[in-house]
Every structure is written in C-alpha cells, then in structure tokens.
Amino acid sequence: MPSSLARTSSLEAFPLLKEDAPPHPVSINRRLCLLAIATGLLIAAVYHGPGFVHDTSLAASDKLESSSASQLTVEVSNEYGIQDNFTYPFLMGREDPTEAILIEPHRDTTLTVRHSCSACSHVWKFPTLRMELSGGTVVTRVNTTGTHDLILCEAHNGVSTRTRKFVVYVKYVRRELRGLTSADREEFMVAASTLWKVSTVDGRSERYGFGDKYFDIYYFAILHNDLAGNGACDFLHGTEGYAFLNAHSALNLMFERSIQAVNPRFALPYWDYVFDSETYSLPHGADNSYMNIWNSDVFTSSYYGSTDSLTGVVQDGAWAGIHVPILTQELVDNAGITGHFRKHGFGSCHGQVADVCNTKTAKELFQYNASTLHQANAFGRLRSPWNMNSGKELIRSQQLCGSPNDNQFPDCTSLTDQYVTYDSFGDYTIALQLSPHGSIHVFTGGAFGDCSDSVPALSDVFGNEDFFGQFNAKLADLTKDLWMEGLKKCPRQGSCEGKEQSECSCSCPSVDITALKHQSLFELKNTSVWKFVEPYLSTDSTSEYIDEITHLVVLSVLDTVCNTEVLLGDMYTSNSPLDVLFFSTHSNVERMFHQKMLSGTMSNLRWPSTTPVSCPGGKAKWRNLWFDYEFDDKSIDSSLLTNDQFLSMLNPLSPHHAHQMNYIFDTIDWPYCGLENNSSLPTLYIWDLE
C-alpha cells in the first residue's frame, strides 16, 4: 500500500480528502442545469419517464416557493426512515445544515425536493459519480463511500428557477442491533457468521471472491490473544492501556470490512447493553439482580444465540456450537497471517521505531515469548495461557465460581460517571476499560471449574459476607493477574494437549500450603502472593475484617488463588473475539467516545506520555502493523498510522473523521440515562472546513 501519509510523524501529514471539483460558480451551475433540464425534458417527452410534470401553468403559491429567495432543500430517506438527525458537525454543525446530506451505500435511497412547486422539473447531477437523475423524487443507490458534490437544478418551462450545490457524504450508519429491520438482521447474521465458517484463504479464493480485505475470525482472535495474553505486558488494557480505544476500533473496522466483503450492505451494529441493564435487571442489591439480562433478545436464536444455563454453550442461532480451535501453524496460515508475524507473536517490537521499542523492551518481549510465539493455553487451545479450559466449546458461563454471575453490569450510573468525570483522553480511556465496558466481559464470560464447588464452602470459613463477596468477585481477575505478575505458573503452551482436564493445573511456586500451615500469621501475610492479593480484597466494607484476619482465612485465600482450578468463559479472556458479542460490545464503546467528543467536554485529547519501560503498545508513536484497512482516502497506509494519528481519525470532531472514515452512529444519545446532546450545538461544532 502507499505509505506517503504515515512515513511522517506529524499530524499535518494527513491530507484532507480533496473535493473532487472546486465549487461551480452559479452561472456555470445554471448553464449545466439548463442543458440537463432541456435534455431531461426531451427524454421525458419521448419516453414519458417518471419524475417530470408537464403542466405549463404555475400557480401563485408555486411562484412564491420557487423564487430565488428560498433555497432548495432535500429530504433523504431509506427503509429506516428520514435520514436527517445525525448529530455530527460535518452535517448538523454547518451554518446551514441543509447544504449537506448523508446517503448510505448499497441501499436504495429516496431523494425528494422539499417544498417544490407542483409544476417544476428537477435534475440531480452528481459530477464525481457521473450520475444524473431527473424528477422531484428520485431513487438512487451509491456503492462507493466518500464525499461527493450534488448539483440540484429546478426549472419551470425550461427556465432555471433555483440551483443549489450540496455536499453528499456516503457513509455507513451503525445502528443498534435490535434496531435493524428483520430482513437486515437475518442477512447480517448470515454475513457475519461466515467469518467463523470460511477461512481467510478460502474467502479470498476464486470460489468465494471476498477479496483481500476479508479476514476470518481466527485472525482477530490470534491477534487479540497475542497482544493481551502474553506474559510480558498487555498491549491493549490496564493502567497504561491508552491504546484500548484505538486498537479495538481498528479491530472493529477490519471485522466490519470483512462482513462487507461478504455482503456490502452492512455496517457493524452496536449492542446498547446499558439498555438491557435498565430494562431487564432488578433493583441493585436484589438477589440475582442482573441474571434476567440473559432474557434479552440479544441472547436468542434471532441474534447472538441463547446459552445453556448449566454448561454455558451457545445452543442456537448462527453461532451455535462454536468451537475454540487448537492453535496450529495451519490455523495461522489459513487465517491469512503472513510475513514476519506468520512465525512470530504480534506482541513484538518488529517494525517499530526505537523511541517506541528500545533494546530492553525487545529483550523482555522475547524473554516472555510475546514476540516469538502466538499465544495458546497448555492444552493448545486458542485461549489465554492462564485459562486452563481444555474444552473445545466456546463458553458463556452464567456462573462465577458457584454463585450467579450478577456482581456487575454497566448501568446508567457507570455510564454517566464515566461521561462527567473525565476531561482528558488519558484518564478517560483508562476508565473506559472498566465499568462501562469490562464488566460486560465478566458477565458474558463467567468462571467455573473446581472453584464452583470449593469457593462456596469458603463462605463459612470466612464468616463475613462482604469479604466473601469481594473474594468471589475478584478471584477470576486474580487468576490472570497473578500469572501476569509471575507469581503463578501454568504448564507450557501445548504441553497438556491430549490430556484430561484434571491432569494439568497452574500453581504458585512460592506457596507451599503444607509448609505454610506451620508458619505464623505474620509470615503468611508477608508472602509475596498475599501482598499482591490483599489490595484486591480491601474495600471500605472489608478493611476492618482484614485488619483482624485470621491464620485460617489467609491460608484459605492463598490455597484457593494458587491451587484451585478457575476456568474462564471466553468473553472474559484474551481470546474474546471468538465470541461475536465482542465486536458489537466494542462498537458501543466507540459510540460512547463519540458521545463524549461531540458533547464538547473533552478538553484534552493529547496522547499521554508514557515511561520508557511501559508496554510499547500504549505509546503515541506505536504503529499497529496488523491494521489492514482501506480508508476513503486510499493513499493512507493503515498499518503505518501511529496511535496519535489514528486517534485524530477516530475523533468525530475532526475533519479527518469526516473525510476518511466511512461510518457514523445513528444516535449518540442514551435518553433513558438522561444523556442527550442538545439540538442547538455549541460553537465548537461549527463546520467551516469544506
């Protein structure tokens, strides 16, 4: 791909998508219109085509409406109704919002002249598309995203009365999953599920003909599992996970483009899961307060499938019986992973500049096999190394180690707290990972295994409901975090392949429970594992209990976190793209970002500076070399965009977003949470960059 854009680090390198032609002077427009109208009238007279009215009388009211004092305006509609309420500055932020319209690609779109005189004729000219239509109401379909001119001409008896130039944005509209028409929903499920059934290599073959922007689901799962599941550092999440929004948005763009390779009509729908919280959950604090969310339409065969409440297996719909594969070189090759990363992990300094990845960082990534291997668990499954689930089925467990998994789910409080609290990008994106997002992964993933029997028994041992609840809620997190910290070790990748679940387990090398039984409470509390675990368990309601904690409780905690089998549902771990829920979840997260930016409350969008020893993926000049996407401006090489450059493109206030990104969201409001943008936009919305 051309790389002229991204070879320079300055944001000034971004070329705005140039208008295809300079604005035509009115006189030229009128000449074009007169010629088009004359031609159109002749054609209409010969063929009696639709859209022309031949009545030569012009009523007084018609004369008034067609006078030069009133501008031509256009109504745009498709099967989703009138398309004129998109709160984006390049549309609504103009001095005159009626001069810009939006058309969705690959959909029949009806264009109607508003307040037209009954005896008038109209010609619609799209110079850059080489398309011309005639009539007061026309139906068109545009199959290429981008920015175009429309010249609309009105005439009476061959005399031009009004002419206007419009800016036409051809963009996909991401809608809520349940807002799709029935026909679109059914077709989308077929198109999206293809990624689980047709490999990248086969999809690009002559048989399917999906093209070179088609990637199967295993490409995305291997990639995310490498970046978030290696032992060196998490490139996407955590306290320095500044790339959280960027990387997941890039994944979504590639996933969306892969679906469009199968069926070009569809954008990636978002899942407004806060709506489900407000609709299905019981009052917070009630028993099983969130479990009714599993009754949402999202978890039915018509959408993303219902799950067996006991096993967690998806049992119907397009994703029924999905399997988590064994990671093999054949899987990697069929997924279309080529070049350096065919035989190396994505958690690598390969192709990065020295300021992003120095020698020390590169050595650490090599030491922990982040850059040398694609990640898998001990049973060889495409799962996190700390998730010792040997089963082949994709799991959405409704349990959390023997208790209903109802500790957390994003609600209006978490959404509004995130919205009002942060005004700098660094703080915002770190917090965005948590309650408005992370708890979705916890809820739809769950935890099970031996802990389902052993953990409930600890309630009596602890003798404190708050402490037990906190421990149960954090045990699954500790399974990962102890492994990431090097305090817990799991068998080598693939070393347990072919063995039974019970034959392989993880443990803490420094914790010998038999020996610890004979040590003092002081010695137990000074172990490295307890020092790491204690902050997870300390809350306002448990701090007093921890101050008086007993030898038996500390020993039980150490034994459980180190030696009890905790298996995790796949949405809870780094292979989460294997579950289709992942992508609609992250589409909604990006919608939250759009809402924040369009509200005008993000005062600092600068990329945060990070220390030399931080995970390189979170640095401003990191490049996602795996990002293979074609923007509207085809000269941009997506793989060479730095984090700060791509953030500018994701920003809906930016001209880069307007001219280079090919989608918007249908709404950025959460009216049931009291989060609605005002119809009168603040000054920063004023769009004067055309």
Q: What is the pLDDT of residue 287?
A: 65
Q: What is the pLDDT of residue 690?
A: 52
Question: What are the C-alpha distances in Å from 140 to residues 131, 132, 133?
Answer: 10, 10, 8
Q: What is the pLDDT of residue 5?
A: 32
The pair phi, psi for residue 216, each rounded to 5°, is: -80, 175
Q: How confident is the model over 89-119, as pLDDT tens digits?
A: 999 888 899 999 999 999 999 999 998 888 8
pLDDT > 90? residue 158: no
DSSP state of 403: E
- Tell me the average pLDDT across 290-309: 96
Integer-rounded Cα Rg, in Å, for the chain is 29
Q: How confident is the model over 329-357, as pLDDT tens digits?
A: 999 999 999 999 999 999 999 999 998 99
Q: What is the pLDDT of residue 286?
A: 64
Q: How confident is the model over 234-292, as pLDDT tens digits?
A: 999 998 899 999 999 999 999 999 999 999 999 999 999 999 999 998 765 566 689 99
State the chain's mean pLDDT as an integer: 88
Contact (Cβ atoms closer than 8 angstroms) between residue 464 and residue 348: no
pLDDT > 60? residue 55: no
Q: Rounded distance, CA 504 to CA 377, Å?
A: 11
Contact (Cβ atoms closer than 8 angstroms) between residue 421 and residue 436: no
Residue 412's nearest CA partner among 673, 677, 599 is 673
Q: How confident is the model over 206-217, as pLDDT tens digits?
A: 999 999 999 999
DSSP string, 449-502: STHHHHHHHHHHHH--HHHHHHHHHHHHHHHHHHHHTTSSB-PPTTTTTTS-GG
- Domain architecture of the chain: domains with CATH: 13-174 (2.60.40.10), 177-449+566-620 (1.10.1280.10)
Q: Rounded distance, CA 497 to CA 479, Å?
A: 21
Q: What is the pLDDT of residue 70?
A: 86
Helix (H) or strand (E) holding 122: strand 121-126
Q: Provide the 3-class DSSP secondary structure of residue 358.
A: coil
Lowest mean pLDDT among 176-185, 470-479, 636-645, 678-687: 678-687
How far out from the chain centre does Cα 383 lie? 21
Which alpha helices (H) appear in 136-236, and where do they start and end? Answer: 182-193, 200-203, 217-229
To the nearest whole percent, how much of the chain has pLDDT over 90? Answer: 79
Quick one: how many helices (H) and strands (E) in the chain?
23, 15
**How open is the CA angle 308-314-315, to the nearest 5 degrees?**
70
Predicted confidence band at 65 (pLDDT cuts at 50, 70, 90)? Answer: very low
Q: Which two tokens stand for residue 219?
A: 């490409």
Residue written as token pair 């919205």? 419
Helix (H) or strand (E) holding 76: strand 74-78
Q: Provide the 3-class DSSP secondary structure of residue 85.
A: coil
Contact (Cβ atoms closer than 8 angstroms) between residue 73 and residue 114: yes
Q: Rounded distance, CA 280 to CA 302, Å?
A: 18
Q: What is the pLDDT of residue 42?
A: 36
Please give the torsion angle defined by the CA atoms of residues 182, 187, 188 and 192, in that order, rounded to the nearest 10 degrees.
150
Q: How confident is the model over 582-620, as pLDDT tens digits?
A: 999 999 999 999 999 998 899 999 999 866 657 999 999
Q: Which two tokens stand for residue 116?
A: 């037209």
How far out from the chain centre does Cα 388 lie? 27
Q: Name the pTM for this structure.
A: 0.90
Contact (Cβ atoms closer than 8 angstroms) between residue 324 and residue 394: yes
Q: What is the pLDDT of residue 48?
A: 31
Residue written as token pair 């020996």? 515
Contact (Cβ atoms closer than 8 angstroms) between residue 290 and residue 406: yes
> For the purposes of burial, counting CB atoms within 10 Å of the CB of 672, is it exposed (0-12), middle (13-18) or buried (19 or more)?
middle
Contact (Cβ atoms closer than 8 angstroms) between residue 35 and residue 28: no
DSSP string, 479-491: HHHHHHTTSSB-P
Question: What are the C-alpha distances in Å from 322 to residues 169, 195, 214, 579, 685?
Answer: 38, 12, 20, 9, 45
pLDDT > 60? residue 10: no
3-state secondary structure 399-449: EECCEECCCCCCCHHHHHHHHHHCCEHHHHHHHHCHHHHHHHHHHHHCEEC
Encoded amino acid at 485, one letter: E
Residue 567's nearest CA partner among 394, 326, 359, 355 is 394
Q: Rounded distance, CA 77 to CA 112, Å?
A: 8
Q: What is the pLDDT of residue 282?
A: 75
Residue 424's nearest CA partner among 653, 646, 603, 650 is 603
Residue 399's nearest CA partner among 527, 311, 279, 513 is 311
Listed in sequence order, the residues at least 6 apart from 452 whose beta carbon sits closer than 8 Å to its beta carbon are 399, 401, 402
pLDDT > 50? residue 41: no
The pairing of beta strand 399-400 with beta strand 121-126: unpaired
